[in-house]
Structure 1
Amino acid sequence: MTSRTGRTAVSGGPLLLGVRHHGPGSARAVLAALDHARPSAVLVEGPPEGDALLPLAAHGRMRPPVALLAHAVDDPGRAAFWPMADFSPEWVAIRWASAHGVPVRFVDLPAAHSLALTEPKEDGAEDGRGIDPIGVLAEAAGYDDPERWWEDVVEHRAEDGPPADPRDPFATLAEAMTALREAYGDGGHPQDAVREACMRLQLRAARKEFGDDVAVVCGAWHVPALHTRTTVAADRALLKGMPKVRTELTWVPWTHRRLARHSGYGAGIESPGWYGHLFGAPDRPVERWMTKVAGLLRDTDRTVSSADVIEAVGLAGTLAALRGRPAVGLTEATDAVRAVMCEGSDVPLALVRDRLVVGETLGEVPETAPAVPLQRDLDRQQRTLRLRPEAGRRELDLDLRKDTDAARSRLLHRLRLLEVHWGEPVAGRGSTGTFRESWRLHWEPELYVRIAEAGVWGTTVLGAATARAETDAVSAPSLAGVTALAEQCLLAGLSEALPVVMRALADRAALDADVGHLADALPALARSLRYGDVRSTDTAALGEVAVGLAERVCVCLPPACTGLDADAALEAHRRVDGVHTAVGLLADTAGADGLPERWAGVLRKLAGRDAVAGVVRGRAARLLLDGGRLAESEAALLMGLALSPGSAPADAAAWIEGFVGGAAGGGLLLVHDERLLALVDTWLTGVPAEAFTDVLPLLRRTFSAYEPGARRALGELVRRGPDPGRAHDESVPAAPGFGEGLDEGRADAVVPVLRLLLGTGAPAGPGTDG
């Protein structure tokens, strides 16, 4: 054994086992080499501060994938992960050392230095400067896919039988890495020189303590640097003066999905589920894989027979032989699954990739692992409420009248206030009342960092959320921000924070003269009042502030809606809708006597002022009509004025959008009131050609939002040709089936049928058979 690196290392000195992080072939090779060499100590790439946590790897409740999490004490957002799966060579080495009573230590740059050197990057940001050693070797071997090359030369090496000396493959890989280092230097990773100097110093210390009979498991890229002869002084010089921060480390659960990203070691893998299968399958891995795939597809009601499994296994083997591969790889297995079990469709194949190739496995860490107090409290509540974290997304429907569901809701809202977004509220499938809530839960490992960051606010979820709310109330930049915070406090049950938030709200509301800010703040306050009964919260102070805001809005809103451009008019339209809804919610609040009537007066002012933007005038008229405060004849008169020849076409189109636009139910209104439809039709057919292109976008936006049934009915009515005179002669309907009032004769004919359907019996008499 005469190579410049690996061979010499194998025959004498420390055993340098260069690996690919998260590689099952590397993991099996490491296990075989350790069993063969029986070293007196094992050194693993990782932060030395984690040495105290290594005994937990042998704990019965420690189940990979897991990650070593390091974060700065004074800046928890500055954090790093070292993830490990059961097929990671580092994890295999740690477990081997624990099982054989051999000392095991981490050797790399301390996290205190690496975190101090790390500049926070935007999520998903990649450096992009460094080379990919595996990619370079694959290209040199004539492969266009590094993953496929690695599978052929490493993962499937067992197909040819184990080597005579389990250490030989590491020597061969070390030679290749030495050639790469000679050609590419640091490979675009200048910080590696500091890391490798630190590794050499720690390796020297281990050799001094345990002798040369030590094994080092690290990225293959670092092996040549560890074998390089340098002086202690030179290595220490590289580390001199490095910045440093106080750090804390712990184990946290990880997921296969997170292993598929480039994080931690910077060695994300595309198929952690497949690699886990290869590592865990004792024999016949292809047959076992196809059986897994068949089971998954059957669970989704696809028909997959045993014959399909046999055929897929045979096809995968044939493809591997045709492509000159030593064994079936993921590509061949996937192609066979697509052709045989998915009938050529990529839709079920996407499910296979998501559930099996990548996987949703979530690791587990024992309760004895160190954690910040806030994490401990959250763990306790998760167990109490039977709300355990899960890697996959799932829907959670809550009935707030039940104590457990109400407590779950408060916990999720408190975490959201702390920016720990484990759950996101979603529109529920059932009731839309205040007693129902629906959430989409998705636990990600990064949430442990968010919890560590939130730990500065308190040691319990309740205490931290209360402190955060009180601080945010004082520093909120706008009135709307304080009102949103008040709503959050009620949802989260933060009774101690609510007085502070209410004082800040009252102060902001008293000083803010911008009616837009007041109108934006009012809906959140009104919604919050609904939570009093179901959440047993005293909302009297909130109601007082909300009514005061509503009174000010009634006074200030009409002048603020005049002289607006198109964008500002749409914003005013939105605010009018929000205030209208809020007034309805405030109607029964103490001190709100007469508020609905005052608001109706505001709407009448808006509907009748020519200086108000058309979309706002139209919306005000519609709200009055829906509320029974505007007769149909008055609505027709307002529409006639808005669509008169003297009105600009763009302003008239905006009025139509406000009156019958979008989700406001305008389609059904026009279907059942032909007078209004006739007015719109008459105006539209009279728009000059040169103005039509200007109003078309507004009209398209208005009518395209209607339900398909409403659009079809309107098209049929227009095709039949409603009589424009209907708008003036209310005694004759323009088309059969439409009229101003109730047709009592036709209604009476329906009553007996309804009685039969309801089981109340049908009395004899005219119309009974109808």
Structure 2
Amino acid sequence: MSAEAVGAAESAGAGAASGAAVPEVTLLGVRHHGPGSARAVAAALAALQPDAVLIEGPPEADGLAAAAAEKEMVPPVALLAHVSDDPARAAFWPFAEFSPEWVALRHALDAGVPVRFIDLPAAQSLALGPRGGDDEEDRTVTGEGDTSGGDGASEEGEGSGVPGGTSRPAPVDPIAPVDPIAELAAAAGHADPEVWWEDAVEHRTPDGDPLAPFAALAEAMAALREHHPAERRDLVREAAMRQQVRAARRAGHRRIAVVCGAWHVPALAAMPTVAHDRALLAGLPKKAKVELTWVPWTHRRLSQHTGYGAGIDSPGWYHHLFTAPGQPVARWMTRVAELLRAEDHPVSSAHVIEAVRLADSLAAVRGRPLPGLTETLDAVRAVMCDGSDVALGLVRDRLVVGDALGEVPDSVPAVPLQRDLTRLQRTLRLKPEAAARELVLDLRKDLDVERSRLLHRLRLLGLHWGRPARDSVNSTGTFRETWQLAWEPEFSVRLVEAGQWGTTVRSAATGRAVAEAAKAELTALTALAEQCLLADLPDALPEVMRALADRAALDTDAGHLAAALPALVRTLRYGDVRATDTSALTAVAHGLAERLSVALPAACTGLDADGATARRAELDAVHQAVALLGGATAERWADTLAALAAREPHGGPATGVPGLLRGRAVRLLLDDGRLDAEEAGRRLGLVLSTASEPADAGGWVEGFVSGGGALLLHDPVLLGLLDGWLCGVSPEAFTDLLPVLRRTFSSLETGVRHTIGSRVAAGPLSAPAGAAVPDAPLDEERADATTEVLALLLGVRVPQPRIPRQVDRRATA
């Protein structure tokens, strides 16, 4: 073993023991967010009783460390650092209850000894940019597989969704990152690194010398670093850590405990000269101005491998291993049983006993010292879930990952916008929760109205804490809203970013809406106007309406107008319940409808099949919107529909309106009572004549019938015309029409299809106008079967017919 490895092992195990005058530095190499490492750190600190604790993390957070001792601070939490003038450039340092760094921090605070963070300052790490380059884009620096610790932070740029993202400098060196756990597991002959780490560390209860595990791990890391050189970024960070260790020695501390990623232990054990470290740090970019605070975190976010996640697959399981005082497997199975019972799964205490036994047996067969997560889940699936992965998925989601959401005390620094949101959450009794839940609001109640306004304002700011449920969006009612609520940790960054628009939620939402209105297109402006009304932003609405009127006056695209009008009219529905003035919107909506009535006929000419289908959806949406507007606008729209219905393609498809749209226009006029059934039948007869193209006629039928097939049941003339046309279509044309016909009739209700089929099967359907289709012959045998029931309902007695012996009464009934 090299001298560097020997030095690392000695420093990690016993430190320098040459006398009281020489500071003793004990290096405790850990795996971030590892419960086994956390237990080992707790035992080592209890034995060492250091007079200073140094932890891998941003030094700017030293002033925030004391907040971790407050009773209102409940992990999981995270340190948030962001560039003051560019909040999108941010980084998190997550801490769970089972994180070794959190254990060290709480030990120092409880013992009343100084605690310092010793990593590269956040001001320099954020200025330095993302770790590595594109080849490292998806590497989570605080992941479960990162024994070394990486940056100790999850960074994210402008919505990149991956570590890093603000800038993409070229890699400072071509050294490929190494996974220390995978290397050690391979050296030990294990194919699965996680299983090896779980057996070697997580299942180990500290006994004997509490420093022995750290000495062994330091020796292993020193050997690894001989064959896998560190990246330049790690070398720079380690130089900064050594500078902080020297500062602690100069401050007079004699028993110093350093908690850091195990990968860094060899570099901190073999201290080079001060000049060497200064040279490494000299090439760093200029420090950025940063701000730090504590924010709540979640187990679910810890489990994600990209973005702000930490890459821990099973934070709920790790939390259980760290907090269970004894018999962790039995206690875990009890929690699983409690969860499954709450979801109406039949699970008894016998299931728990058998699951524990099976997990122990699986561990013995697989040569493991104790059952791990794999064995427990296999036992749960077999015993409690009857082999179902559906029920097991519930266990994975609720227990293996979990919905824990941390809490942060009010004494922690926060931006004004965050403080205003916290005040509103308390006032409106809307507690942030990581688990998704449904919130139903009755807008006739003042409290629910205020809750709705808050959620809509946050959506304007990009904080989708609440998402409208589908039934709420599609509902025709005006007093009920349904939301799905789920709080995400990165909302803390969104709040910092939104601070540029205002210091309160209302002012920030107003500022953001005004800024968006200046650059939004017509369709986006209608949605923005709707949001301003729902969020009750009277200061923003005039600016949005002014921009909307300007865009509507200049936009001649019928598609844009058709997409904008329904959103405007839908917004008008909320005026009565919310007591919102919508007069400005009403004027714009009528103006859009007038322009659309003029532009639509020309826009429906010469469309192919896909274009006609898309235009038909717009036609339906605009028709519903105009029906709500009423008045002269509705009359003008009826004239537009009549014009569409009359524009037949006499000179070819490019000269007229497709049959799908003409048939739809006729049906809409018929449903509104502006066209009688006789006229509709006449037009259907003309379309289905031999002079029309079968494809165009099929489209006409689709547009006409798809509004509801009951029309064909009530008007036998229309059904007869359609039946006669289908019987007269040539075999070649019928083959081409078949997909259209199937699509048309498959949209009808099952009962309607069956009744139409029975009437067609009964005989010829052609009949003069106003004549009824002859009924099918009376089935006397089936009619007699109802006699007894009818007599019972009417309260009369009828003589029982004599039934031959050979006839089964059940068959007769």
The TM-score normalised by the length of structure 2 is: 0.85
Q: 1:475: Cα distance to partner?
A: 1.6
Counterpart amino acid of residue 340 in structure 1: V
Q: Is the CA contact 1:207–1:213 (under 8 Å) kept in the aligned structure 2?
A: no
Match of 2:660 among 587, 590, 615: 615
Name which of 646, 655, 658 aligns with 2:691: 646
2:82 counterpart SS class: strand
> How far is 1:62 from its partner?
0.4
Counterpart amino acid of 1:168?
A
The one-letter code matched in structure 1 to 2:504 is T
Q: Does 1:733 pair with 2:777?
A: no
What is the CA-CA distance between 1:598 and the residue it aligns to?
1.6
Partner of 1:166: 210
Q: Does the aligned pair in 2 maintain the 1:604–1:620 contact within 8 Å?
A: yes
What corresponds to 1:481 in structure 2?
524
Counterparts of 2:728 and 2:259 in 1: how far apart (Å)? 82
Mapped to 2, the partners of 1:4 and 1:717 lie a distance apart of 95
1:150 maps to 197
> Is 2:182 aligned against 1:135?
yes
Aligned equivalents of 1:395, 1:469: Cα separation in 2:
27
Q: CA deviation at 1:8?
A: 3.7
Q: Give the letter for the 1:208 counterpart.
A: R
Match of 2:641 in 1: 603
Q: Which residue of the partner structure matches residue 459 of structure 1?
A: 503
**Displacement of 1:502 after TM fit?**
1.5
Say if 2:319 is the partner of 1:276.
Answer: yes
CA displacement 1:234-277 (0-9 Å, x = unmatched): 22222224233221111111111111123589752111111111
Quote the residue 2:481 is aligned against. Answer: 437
Contact 2:185 2:196 in 1 (8 A): yes
Structure 2 unaligned segments of length 5 or more: list them.
17-23, 131-156, 165-174, 649-655, 778-789, 795-813
Equivalence for 1:746: none
The answer to whether 1:377 aligns with 2:415 is no
2:394 match = 351
Using the alignment, how far apart are the partners of 1:486 and 1:722 within structure 2? 57
Q: 1:256 to 1:62 in 2, by over 3 A?
A: same
Aligned counterpart in structure 1 of residue 265 of structure 2, from 216, 223, 245: 223
Q: Is residue 72–residue 115 contact of structure 1 (8 Å, CA) maintained in 2? A: yes
Task: Map residues 487-566 of structure 1 onto 2, 5 A cutoff.
Answer: 487-566=530-609
Q: 1:702 to 1:108 in 2, by over 3 A?
A: farther
Task: Choose from 1, 6, 15 the match for 1:3.
Answer: 6
Give the length in aligned residue pairs: 725
User: What's the offset of the Cα at 1:129?
Assistant: 5.5
8 Å CA contact 2:565, 2:592 repeated in 1: yes
CA gap 1:564/1:323 in 2 versus in 1, 3 angstroms: same
* Kept in 1: contact 2:11–2:27 (CA 8 A): no
Q: TM-score, normalised by structure 1?
A: 0.90
- Contact 2:11/2:269 (<8 A) preserved: no
Contact in 1 for aligned 2:221/2:263 (Cα 8 Å): yes
State whether structure 2 residue 620 is matched by structure 1 residue 581.
Answer: no
Cα contact 2:678–2:769 (8 A) shared by 1 = no
Alpha-carbon shift at residue 562 of structure 1 (Å): 1.1
Q: In structure 2, how many angstroms separate the alpha carbons of the residues matched to 1:716 and 1:496? A: 62
SS across alignment from 1:3: helix
CA pair 492-267 structure 1, distance change in 2 beyond 3 A: closer
Distance 2:674 2:436 in 1: 47
1:108 aligns with 2:119: yes
Paired with 2:250 and 2:307, the residues of 1 have a C-alpha distance of: 30
Contact 1:19 1:89 in 2 (8 A): yes
The sequence identity of aligned pairs, in percent, is 63
How far apart in 1 are the matches of 2:176 and 2:611? Answer: 47
CA distance in 1, matches of 2:657, 2:714: 28
Deviations 1:694-721 (A, max 9, x none): 4444334333334444444444445x25
- In structure 2, do the counterparts of structure 1 residues 164 and 400 end up closer, same or farther at CA, with 3 Å as the change threshold? same
8 Å CA contact 1:272–1:357 kept in 2: the answer is yes
- Alpha-carbon displacement from aligned partner over 1:425-475 (angstroms, at most 9, x marks no partner): 113389641111111111110111111111110000100111111121122
Following superposition, the deviation at residue 723 of structure 1 comes to: 2.4
> 2:194 matched to 1:177?
no
Instruction: Flag the 1:561–1:321 CA change in 2: closer, same or farther, 3 A.
Output: same
2:178 and 2:421 map into 1 onto residues whose CA distance is 42
User: Deviations 1:551-603 (Å, cap 9, x if unpaired)?
Assistant: 2222222122112222322232222222211211112xxxxx42222211111
- Is residue 644–residue 657 contact of structure 2 (8 Å, CA) maintained in 1? yes
Q: Counterparts of 1:653 and 1:572 in 2: how far apart (Å)?
A: 17
- Summarize the Cα distance change of 1:390–1:708 in structure 2 as closer, same or farther, 3 Å threshold: farther
| Paired amino acid for 1:659 | F
Asked if structure 2 preserves the Cα contact closer than 8 Å seen for 1:21 and 1:265, the reply is no
Q: Which segment drifts farther, 639-648 or 611-620?
A: 639-648
Measure, in 1, the Cα distance between the counterparts of 2:451 and 2:308: 36
Distance 1:682 1:126 in 2: 67
Q: Which amino acid aligns with 1:595?
A: T
Which residue of structure 1 aligns with residue 45 of structure 2? 34
* Aligned residue in 1 for 2:430: 387
Name the CA shift for 1:691/1:67 in 2 (closer, same or farther; >3 Å).
farther
Q: 1:179 to 1:35 in 2, by over 3 A?
A: same
Distance 1:104 1:567, change over 3 A: same
Note the 1:280-359 alignment, pairs <5 A.
280-359=323-402
Secondary structure at the aligned position of 2:87 is classed as coil
What is the identity, as a one-letter code, of the residue corresponding to 1:281? A
Instruction: Establish whether residue 57 from structure 1 lines up as the match of residue 100 from structure 2.
Output: no
Distance 1:472 1:267 in 2: 34
CA distance in 2, matches of 1:667, 1:207: 87
| Match of residue 469 from structure 1 | 513
Q: What is the aligned partner in structure 2 of residue 631 from structure 1?
A: 676
Mapped partners of 1:613, 1:99: distance in 2: 79
Q: Which amino acid aligns with 1:20?
A: R
How far off its partner does 1:514 sit? 2.6
CA contact (8 A) 2:302 2:309 kept: no
Cα distance in 2 between the residues matched to 1:46 and 1:249: 12
How far apart are 1:690 and its partner, in Å? 3.9
Partner of 2:34: 23
| Alpha-carbon distance in structure 2 between the residues aligned to 1:649 and 1:123 | 52
Q: 1:150 to 1:708 in 2, by over 3 A?
A: farther
CA shift for structure 1 position 176: 1.3
Change beyond 3 A, Cα 1:43–1:679: farther
The one-letter code sitting in structure 2 at the alignment partner of 1:656 is V
Provide the alpha-carbon RMSD of the alignment: 2.5
The farther-off stretch of 95-104 and 196-205 is 196-205
